[in-house]
Structure 1
Amino acid sequence: MTIAVEDLTGQGLIPGELFGRLVNRIAKEHDMPREFAARIMDQALAFLRACGENHRAPLGPSDLVDIGWHTFLLYTREYASFCERAAGGFIHHVPNDDGQGEGDSKKVIARTAEAIRSLGFAVDDDLWLTFEVKCNDGDDGCRASGKDGNENTDSNGK
């Protein structure tokens, strides 16, 4: 992955100590090199920041980026605080239990990567474009759910 000097990183969105704890947990629980776990967490944070923007179409994480999101959710206080700063409200995780809508996963991934890039964040294409999205943009999709009407709406659709 090549990151231009002017690109932002997701890592910069949270304190270094918290980032390190999240990365260590991913590496340990998923038996992967720490460097790879750091890439996953970085992209999860950039994804969550992009979810805080008003998008007309839903965003969703790749399988690997979803690992970072799941890990961050375990740290509820830090996650809730991050959501307030990054999105102005809690970003809910809505899982896709039945796998519907997986045919649209490449579109969702491309749209999500572009949303991240449009905010000036580096996009680790290997984590986004090589892997199918585990989530989709249908009603049953694993997606960010915040406050503004689509992927960023609360769970009641408000």
Structure 2
Amino acid sequence: MTTAQKRTAIDARTLINAGLRETLVDNMRAKFSQLTEERADRGVGQMLAFLAACAYSEKPLSPSPLVDDFWHAFLLHTKAYRDFCDEHFSRFLDHQPGYLDTEEHGGGKELRARTVDAITCAGYEIDMEFWPELDLVQCSQCHANCSDSPNHP
């Protein structure tokens, strides 16, 4: 008889050292004062899981607006970001904002669902609090709680 073992999901926060993680948490808390340290730390993990999934996905992926804010915080630390990409992916992961053709790639909700699936398939933990638009109607950057909305955390 063969027994299937469920593997434990990887906490992506382990992909960077504690000092860099603390810096990113502090940067995000300075930008969003209502963000708790614990939630900011979890957000760093979701951003890192997103980047890990992007490195190996053959299809475009898309961060949630909040995960994108964490990515922006990491990008501001150019050397640390470049070193991270080199160490983990042997290449630089570009940030290319813009809209993808919805006929070819689907809308924002479909892209985010694909992203969550890719993160899960790559073995990383998903924290659905950072992917809230999966519960919303089909949209793409409607700004109803997006990164430039006054309601955005």
Gaps (5+ residues) in structure 2? 1-5, 142-153
Q: 1:123 aligns to what SS in structure 2?
A: coil
- Please report how far the alpha carbon of residue 129 of structure 1 lies from its aligned counterpart in structure 2 after TM superposition: 3.7
Aligned 1:95-134 pairs, distance under 5 A: 95-96=97-98, 101=102, 104-130=107-133, 134=141
Q: Distance in 1 between matches of 2:28 and 2:94?
A: 20
Gaps (5+ residues) in structure 1? 135-158
Residue in 2 that maps onto 1:34: 37
- Please report how far the alpha carbon of residue 126 of structure 1 lies from its aligned counterpart in structure 2 after TM superposition: 1.7
Is the 2:109–2:133 Cα contact (8 Å) retained in structure 1? Answer: no
* Greater helix share, structure number: 2
Q: Distance in 2 between matches of 1:43 and 1:11?
A: 8
Q: Distance in 2 between matches of 1:133 and 1:36?
A: 25
Is the 2:24–2:74 Cα contact (8 Å) retained in structure 1? Answer: yes
- Please report how far the alpha carbon of residue 130 of structure 1 lies from its aligned counterpart in structure 2 after TM superposition: 3.4
> Please, which of 61, 64, 79 is the counterpart of residue 62 of structure 1?
64
Q: Do structure 1's residue 11 and structure 2's residue 13 form an aligned pair? A: yes
The alignment yields a C-alpha RMSD, in angstroms, of 2.4
Whose Rg is larger? 2
Using the aligned pairs only, state the percent identity.
34
Residue in 2 that maps onto 1:24: 26
Q: 1:93 aligns to what SS in structure 2?
A: coil
